[in-house]
């Protein structure tokens, strides 16, 4: 082999090595992208679960709020009735209608 053939062979070998290195880098990038895509899918699933949980909690909170409002009406009415009875008894005692 002459000198130029050896140089051409070395040049081709070096070129092939660079191509292989670039292919390796492309493969690494593709693997990294696949991992990112998998994590994104997991994150999307988790996000959907969290949104459903928040929605369920919101509905429970609305039902609880309605129940609290209803209970507030009852306790307010009972409190007024209690004060009315106390006032009536106090008035009756002061008038002398009821003896204790």
pLDDT at 34: 97
Low-confidence ranges of the chain (pLDDT < 70): 1, 98-100
pLDDT at 1: 59
- 3-state class percentages of the chain: helix first, strand second, coil last, to nearest 5: 95, 0, 5
pLDDT at 95: 86
Give phi and psi for 99, each to the nearest 5. -105, 135
pLDDT at 100: 60
């Amino acid at each position: 082999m002459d000198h130029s053939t050896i140089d051409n062979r070395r040049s081709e070998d070096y070129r092939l090595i660079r191509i292989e290195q670039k292919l390796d880098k492309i493969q690494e990038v593709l693997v990294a992208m696949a991992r990112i895509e998998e994590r994104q899918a997991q994150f999307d699933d988790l996000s959907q679960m969290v949104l459903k949980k928040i929605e369920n909690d919101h509905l429970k909170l609305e039902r609880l709020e309605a129940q609290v409002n209803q209970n507030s009406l009852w306790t307010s009415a009972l409190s007024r009735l209690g004060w009315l009875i106390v006032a009536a008894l106090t008035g009756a005692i002061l008038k002398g209608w009821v003896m204790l």
